[in-house]
Amino acid sequence: MPYLDDVEALRKADRWGMLEAYLRWPDALLSGARRAEELEIPGEVRMRGGSIRYGQPSSVVIVGMGGSAAGGDLLVDLTWDRMPVPILVWRDYHLPAFVGPDTLVVAVSYSGNTEETLVAFSEALARRSMVVAITSGGVLGQLCRKLKLPLVEVPGGLKPRMALPYLFAPLPILMEEFGLVRGLREQVQAAAALMEQMATGLAPEVPVEQNQAKKLALDLLGSVPVVYGHGFLRSVARRLKSQFNENSKVPSFFNQLPAMNHDEILGWEGEEEYTRRFSALFLRDPGEGPALRERVRITKALLADKVAKIVELWAMGVSRLERMFSILYVGELASLYLAFARGVDPYSMRSIDAVKRELAELGLAEEARARAERLFPS
Ligand code: PA5
């Protein structure tokens, strides 16, 4: 019996119940959406030295790092051809110059304590941007409560990457609430329903033969996965790369087509001694146009003798979000199965914690908190 079919061993290895948490994603997605539906966007929030006025945004910036930024990428891919204003996912301390009072800035931090996000959040306040936060608490939660800023609170006690549905689902709802894009709620519901159907087939009890996630994990085992997405699957490729890093503890990279046909493809001409260490995972959509279909075919042919393995994941479902989540869900669970197949702990995050701990000594999060507190109305 392959290790991944030994349910008892899997459950033992999964000390923190990550498999169960991921299998509950359909509910988490609906819950995240509900939390945003319940949010009341104020007309104005008073602060020392000038108010924030909530209205029609002329741009949207989603601020966050790592697992908390991933939902922003998904939102961009979900809405790029319908969003009437520029939208950007920002993973850094300082905000771009265009961010001002007409910008909707959504600060996403699962812990609420990430220094880059707190610095950017304090800058958004100073510029009187329309700030909304999504967090389980931390400093971000406290500041929002004190300043009476709109806050979507999500359940705590998870690792940020496990909380993606909670962190993502409020975003489409906010886009609707701010009058930017319609018809997204329905897609969130459809994606949750599709994941619900898929969950049974991806569970640990389902053997490798019938379990797409276990199969993918075994396909990628022993290689460095390079994930290729196109169109609205770009964000999915990026997220899966992160999950292979964070859960499976393997190096992993992503890129998009057609862009990789113009540079990265030459890298695969290198010595097989190197290229054979990688596998290529292509994310596919049945609705991809003829140009992309051809590009994938040609690219696969060029890579065929160079990489350890070529694997494809095909999207299912009708709406765009269903298609995105249908691939995402298989890949997310595959990243857990890959961790178990490798004998590593998907829950641990030693290196991320080490960097955060050392950086904390610079006191940037504290400075950002103090800057925000100076804006408290007297
Ligand atoms: O997945 C993770 O744990 C990380 O990528 C975190 O999301 C990242 O470090 C930011 O932390 P937070 O999500 O708490 O803001």
CA 15 / ligand 1 centre spacing (Å): 20
Kindly report the protein residue whose alpha carbon is nearest to atom 9 of ligand 1: 66
| Length of the chain measured in residues | 378
CA 281 / ligand 1 centre spacing (Å): 25
Would the CB of 121 count as within 6 Å of ligand 1? no
| Phi, psi (deg, nearest 5) at residue 227 | -100, 125
3-state secondary structure 13-31: HCCCCHHHHHHCHHHHHHH
In the prediction, which pLDDT does 2 show? 66
Residue 257 bridge partners (DSSP):
230
| Phi, psi (deg, nearest 5) at residue 305 | -90, 5
Cα torsion 41, 42, 45, 50 to 10°: value is: 100
CA 297 / ligand 1 centre spacing (Å): 36
Residue with the two structure tokens 């990265």? 264
In the prediction, which pLDDT does 78 show? 98
The answer for 222, left when phi > 0, alpha when psi is -120 to 50, beta otherwise, is left
Would the CB of 239 count as within 6 Å of ligand 1? no
In the prediction, which pLDDT does 375 show? 84
Q: Where are the domains of the chain?
A: 39-179+356-374, 200-342
Which ligand 1 atom is the nearest neighbour of the CA of 117? 15
In the prediction, which pLDDT does 376 show? 83
CATH (residue range 200-342): 3.40.50.10490
Closest among 318, 261, 255, 262 to 282, alpha carbons compared: 255
Would the CB of 138 count as within 6 Å of ligand 1? no
Kindly report the protein residue whose alpha carbon is nearest to atom 5 of ligand 1: 66
How many CA atoms lie less than 13 Å away from 143 in the CB half-sphere?
Answer: 29
- When computed from its CA atoms, the radius of gyration of the chain, rounded to whole angstroms, is 21
Would the CB of 108 count as within 6 Å of ligand 1? no
In the prediction, which pLDDT does 60 show? 98
262 is catalytic: yes
Instruction: Look up residue 92 and give its DSSP letter.
Output: S
In the prediction, which pLDDT does 49 show? 86
pLDDT in tens, the chain (378 residues): 668 999 999 999 999 999 999 999 999 999 999 999 999 999 999 999 899 999 999 999 999 999 999 999 999 999 999 999 999 999 999 999 999 999 999 999 999 999 999 999 999 999 999 999 999 999 999 999 999 999 999 999 999 999 999 999 999 999 999 999 999 999 999 999 999 999 999 999 999 999 999 999 999 999 999 999 999 999 999 999 999 999 999 999 999 999 999 999 999 999 999 999 999 999 999 999 999 999 999 999 999 999 999 999 999 999 999 999 999 999 999 999 999 999 999 998 899 999 999 999 999 998 999 988 888 876
How many CA atoms lie less than 13 Å away from 163 in the CB half-sphere?
Answer: 23
Distance CA 220, CA 212 (A): 12
Residue with the two structure tokens 């080490």? 354
Q: Are the CB atoms for 279 and 226 separated by under 8 Å?
A: yes
In this structure, which amino acid lies at residue 140?
A: L
Tokens matching residue 33: 């959406």
Pocket test for ligand 1, best of 110, 357, 359 (most atoms within 8 A of CB): 110
Distance CA 332, CA 335 (A): 5
Pairing outcome for strands 59-63 and 52-53: unpaired
Judge if 39-179+356-374 and 200-342 fold alike in CATH terms.
yes
Pairing outcome for strands 151-153 and 130-135: parallel
In the prediction, which pLDDT does 136 show? 98
Dihedral sign of CA atoms 258, 259, 262, 263 in order? negative
Closest among 163, 134, 142 to 64, alpha carbons compared: 134
Distance of CA 6 to the CA centre of its chain: 30
Distance CA 80, CA 7 (A): 41
In the prediction, which pLDDT does 377 show? 79
What fold characterizes domain 39-179+356-374?
Rossmann fold (3.40.50)
